[in-house]
Structure 1
Amino acid sequence: MNETTLQVGIVGGYLALSLLVGLLAYRLTDRSAEDYYLASRTLGTVVLLFTTFATLLSAFTFFGGPNTAYGFGPEWILVMGLMDGILFAVLWYVIGYKQWLLGREHGYVTLGEMLGDRFGSPLLRGLVAGISLFWLFPYVMLQQVGAGTALEALTGGELSYAMGAGLVTVFMIAYVVLAGMRGIAWTDTLQGVFMLVMVWVAALWVLTELGGMGSATAQLAESNPEFLSLGGGRYSPQWMLSQAIGIAFGVAMFPQVNQRFFVAGSKKVLKRTFSLWPILVVLLFVPAFMLGAWARGLPINVPENGNVLSILLAEYAPAWFAALVIAGAMAAMMSSSDSMLLSGSSYFTRDLYRPFINPDASSSWEDTLGRIGVAVFAIAAFVASLYSPKAITTIGSTAFGGFAQLALPVIVALYWSRVTRTGMLAGIIGSQMFYLSSVFLSFVPSSYGGWLASVVGMGIGLVLTVSVSAVTSPAPDEERNLYFDLHAD
């Protein structure tokens, strides 16, 4: 058996195992929209923790993060591992617990559904869904780009980029259409554990080849001594805080993450999960990003658009082990993309199709339409990944900031009954327009005194939501006490 056949066999075997888990979940899934999208709100601590963990940790963890550490230093661990681990855990409680109570009491499946009900506004419901799908689509596409690139590099070009991306897309469609949230959550748990183990084994393997952590750090100190000091270069305090805030608040509004606020089986499950979250995040990011930093001191050649982790493993690990780690990277990509596909489908069916096209759609028809939507969404993203137009790539790479613009208006609405429909629309539209301008218009600055436009836009959204609400009256069909008349456990 040649090397390429072995590598493809390992990755293919992993994909087949994921599909089997999906088939098992399909046998246990009810034919209802709530079960398909939310697993009937029954997830326990371990599954909820790992499905959120695996859903968030996309191709960036294995490629973008180590590349950033290789290029600029390991302080990226502070942004992703510590700041976002803690910040997102706090937001999980601030937003997630209130959403969980509301979902349990009123049966909400999506964020737009929850907001539209409170403010008596199909327009707001559709707006939130439209904005979310706008930022979500290219992010799905970028996962397919990562999968295709990784498989092409792993096989030395014997498996083309298009074939690699297409293979992963077919598998994702198969098990997401079959299994829904229950199967995704089980598969994510498998994938989350697998990639956590793989990244630690990879770090230990490479360090053993280099003579230990001391030797690897000494080589880094000799080639790039500035990497061993805190701050400097790109890592200004404003830049680091902007990244941490934008990513953490953006994550809380990502559809595939936000929907997980609805699925906990109990309050105890929810609290255990966000308490364990920072620990799990640090356990993954530290070895992955340090591998990128240590690689800077090694005599390896990393081309401008290359992935340092793949090159590092090709140099210091056998082919079969590199294939296992690439399978771990594929797990990260798939566990993000599958949840994005499911959430994107739910936003379309629940927030666009149901209120604007067929308000009387049955739950079984919505379930069927949702499965069709998954396939259409995935195929469209795959086609886009073959061309990767600059505008779509730009949207995907700035998606965290786009989602972050939704966060503060949502938090204000959850905790201040005086918010009005007009205030919500002003805050959401105003911040989105500002952020989009900073991304696509060259004459609009992307930072202000070192603070990134994503954080500045969040501030604009907060000011608009509060100030416009303060000077406008609630619409007659708003339910101002909906978020406050709750029965907590």
Structure 2
Amino acid sequence: MTLEIQLGIIVGYLILALAVGLVAYRMTDRTAEDFYLASRTFGTVVLLFTTFATLLSAFTFFAGPNVAYHEGPEWVLVMGLMDGIIFAILWYVIGYKQWLLGRQYDYVTLGEMLGDRFASRWLRGLVAGVSLVWLFPYVMLQQVGAGTALEALTEGALPYAVGAGLITAFMILYVVVAGMRGIAWTDTLQGAFMLVTTWVAMLWVLAVVGGPGAATAALEAEAAHHLALGSNHYTAQWMLSTAIVIGFGVAMFPQVNQRFFAAGSRTVLKRSFALWPILCVLLFVPSFMLGAWARGLDVTVPEGGNVLPAVLAEYTPVWFAALVIAGAMAAMMSSSDSMLLSGSSYFTRDLYRPTLGFFDRDVSERREDLIARGGVVVFATAAFAASLFNPATLFELGDAAFSGFAQLALPVMVALYWRKTTRAGITAGILSSQLFYLSSLFVAAVPATYGGWTAGLVGMGIGLVATVGVSLVTSPAADERRSIYFDGLRAD
């Protein structure tokens, strides 16, 4: 009966989220702008929570507590405080300029914005291709997280492949029938739900074990070094590198970056980025502290398993543990459906339309729509197949994706604010940083760290130097539109 209760709660919650999306689908206009950006009408609450829920992934609920369990609670400083502040700043620096440009020129994707400025289909396709490459491991991360969570919650009664397959099926169905409006509505529901349940979970566990003092004393007895700031793992270089790379990487995630175009007004943007650090702390403190305290509690975490489901199974009732895991899976689905929606827009608008569409001049919106939906199915299914091999830990998958996307950020920022950026400069910046970071992952001769600083951060520096340096020694192409990022932009 326990398994039936767990599955009933999890599947029921996913169906509820799907029902909300179906209602929104009936209100969606059949236009690309509405399907991908909800006609640029988001208010503060929806924009804030849809961005928030889009990032509530397996990296947050499982990888983060796992790091806190093994290495200590300083992970709260990296993700909850430092990264929250860094991304809030970037939300204004990059997001506000993108919002202005989107209103002026009707851009839907980052590739469109850059391709128009530099008059380059090649650059547009390069940005889309790079984004899709790094989107793949992050979609896979959600499937790995769902599979391992359900397997742990049900003590192996539900195999890993079934959990990963369940979230894959739901996210394909959801994206195929609903656009940005439906995703934003369910994101708002799921973001608020996860804030509440995560705090309730922490307070419930603390009540059972005797309060935060008792939990901290147990942690000190088991791993006293967890209570000291800094360690061989949490070096200053590693913490700064990780926070910077994640913050800049988040700003380039397609599902986050496109939300910069979707705000209804400048006031909405300003309120949202001001509230963002508060929201991060409110979520990450309870989930990561649960992971850290679990180290001192009588919790059995299987080899390669996740801490959070084990803690909930040990100290909370079956129905509540299932409810939290259901919410976590829904949050993973909200990340995945946003990624797949953005990925389909990058594929159809930045790869298919400028290339294959060039040879098919009679391509209709209907055919383009079918290609986008078919691409969602293929992409999600391929990620699911890769997730069955479970080639890396959740943290490794997430870190690779964050660092890969971070390589785009500085060339984009330079282009947005430096009029002298050339097509050759931004192309060199993107290619050099991407090739360097990929080499650090797959070529043994290229180190992963440099004096404690990660290859992801070093790659960002290489991209910045290449963008500026090549731009200084090259002339702009005759068809570049150098003035559109600077002249005539108005907030109202």
Q: Same fold (TM over 0.5)?
A: yes
Give SS of 1:82's match: helix
Structure 1 match to 2:304: 305
Structure 1 match to 2:403: 401
The answer to whether 1:259 aligns with 2:258 is yes
Question: 1:244–1:391: structure 2 CA closer, same or farther, 3 Å change rule?
Answer: closer
The answer to whether 1:145 aligns with 2:144 is yes
Structure 1 match to 2:382: 380
> 1:85-484 maps to which residues of 2 (within 5 A)?
85-359=84-358, 360=361, 361-389=363-391, 397-484=399-486
The answer to whether 1:488 aligns with 2:491 is yes
Query: Deviation per CA, 1:74-118, whole angstroms, max 9, x where unpaired?
Result: 000000000010000000000000000101110111101100000
- TM-fit CA distance, 1:484: 0.5
My pick for the range that moved more, 182-191 or 387-396, is 387-396
Question: 1:240–1:44: structure 2 CA closer, same or farther, 3 Å change rule?
Answer: same
- Over the matched positions of the two proteins, sequence identity in percent amounts to 72
Question: 1:254–1:460: structure 2 CA closer, same or farther, 3 Å change rule?
Answer: same
Give SS of 2:174's match: helix
Which residue identity does 1:457 align to in structure 2? Answer: G
Give SS of 1:477's match: coil
- TM-fit CA distance, 1:392: 12
Following the alignment from structure 2 to structure 1, what is the Cα–Cα distance between the partners of residues 104 and 279? 30
My pick for the range that moved more, 146-155 or 282-291, is 146-155
> For structure 2, which runs of at least 5 residues remain unmatched after alignment?
none
My pick for the range that moved more, 386-395 or 397-406, is 386-395
Following the alignment from structure 2 to structure 1, what is the Cα–Cα distance between the partners of residues 263 and 483? 24
- TM-fit CA distance, 1:427: 0.6
Query: Deviation per CA, 1:148-187, whole angstroms, max 9, x where unpaired?
Result: 2212222222322222222221211122111110000001
Following the alignment from structure 1 to structure 2, what is the Cα–Cα distance between the partners of residues 298 and 383? 36
- TM-fit CA distance, 1:456: 0.7
Which residue identity does 1:332 align to in structure 2? Answer: A
Residues 301 and 307 in structure 2, CA contact (< 8 A), matched pair in contact too: yes
Query: Please, what TM-score do these two structures have when normalized by structure 1?
Result: 0.97
Residues 220 and 296 in structure 1, CA contact (< 8 A), matched pair in contact too: yes
Following the alignment from structure 1 to structure 2, what is the Cα–Cα distance between the partners of residues 291 and 195? 14
Structure 2 match to 1:72: 71
Following the alignment from structure 2 to structure 1, what is the Cα–Cα distance between the partners of residues 262 and 103? 9
My pick for the range that moved more, 141-150 or 465-474, is 141-150
- TM-fit CA distance, 1:395: 5.9
- TM-fit CA distance, 1:294: 0.7
- TM-fit CA distance, 1:332: 2.1
Following the alignment from structure 1 to structure 2, what is the Cα–Cα distance between the partners of residues 286 and 10? 26
- TM-fit CA distance, 1:390: 5.9
The answer to whether 1:33 aligns with 2:35 is no
Which residue identity does 2:458 align to in structure 1? Answer: V
Residues 31 and 367 in structure 1, CA contact (< 8 A), matched pair in contact too: no
Following the alignment from structure 1 to structure 2, what is the Cα–Cα distance between the partners of residues 303 and 186? 36
My pick for the range that moved more, 300-309 or 91-100, is 300-309
Which residue identity does 2:274 align to in structure 1? Answer: S
Following the alignment from structure 1 to structure 2, what is the Cα–Cα distance between the partners of residues 59 and 104? 33
Give the RMSD, CA atoms, in angstroms. Answer: 1.6
My pick for the range that moved more, 434-443 or 152-161, is 152-161
Give SS of 2:320's match: helix
- TM-fit CA distance, 1:364: 4.4
Residues 148 and 305 in structure 2, CA contact (< 8 A), matched pair in contact too: no
My pick for the range that moved more, 363-372 or 155-164, is 363-372
Residues 22 and 177 in structure 2, CA contact (< 8 A), matched pair in contact too: yes
Following the alignment from structure 1 to structure 2, what is the Cα–Cα distance between the partners of residues 440 and 453? 12
Query: Deviation per CA, 1:229-285, whole angstroms, max 9, x where unpaired?
Result: 211221111110000000000000011110010000111111111111000000000
My pick for the range that moved more, 120-129 or 300-309, is 300-309
Following the alignment from structure 2 to structure 1, what is the Cα–Cα distance between the partners of residues 88 and 397? 26
Following the alignment from structure 1 to structure 2, what is the Cα–Cα distance between the partners of residues 392 and 380? 18
Query: Deviation per CA, 1:372-397, whole angstroms, max 9, x where unpaired?
Result: 32222222222222234569996654
Structure 1 match to 2:12: 13
Residues 62 and 394 in structure 2, CA contact (< 8 A), matched pair in contact too: no
Which residue identity does 2:338 align to in structure 1? Answer: S
Following the alignment from structure 1 to structure 2, what is the Cα–Cα distance between the partners of residues 182 and 366? 20
Following the alignment from structure 2 to structure 1, what is the Cα–Cα distance between the partners of residues 178 and 331? 18
- TM-fit CA distance, 1:403: 0.5
Residues 32 and 364 in structure 1, CA contact (< 8 A), matched pair in contact too: no
Following the alignment from structure 2 to structure 1, what is the Cα–Cα distance between the partners of residues 17 and 278? 26
Following the alignment from structure 2 to structure 1, what is the Cα–Cα distance between the partners of residues 226 and 46? 37
Residues 59 and 398 in structure 2, CA contact (< 8 A), matched pair in contact too: no
> For structure 1, which runs of at least 5 residues remain unmatched after alignment?
none
My pick for the range that moved more, 179-188 or 352-361, is 352-361
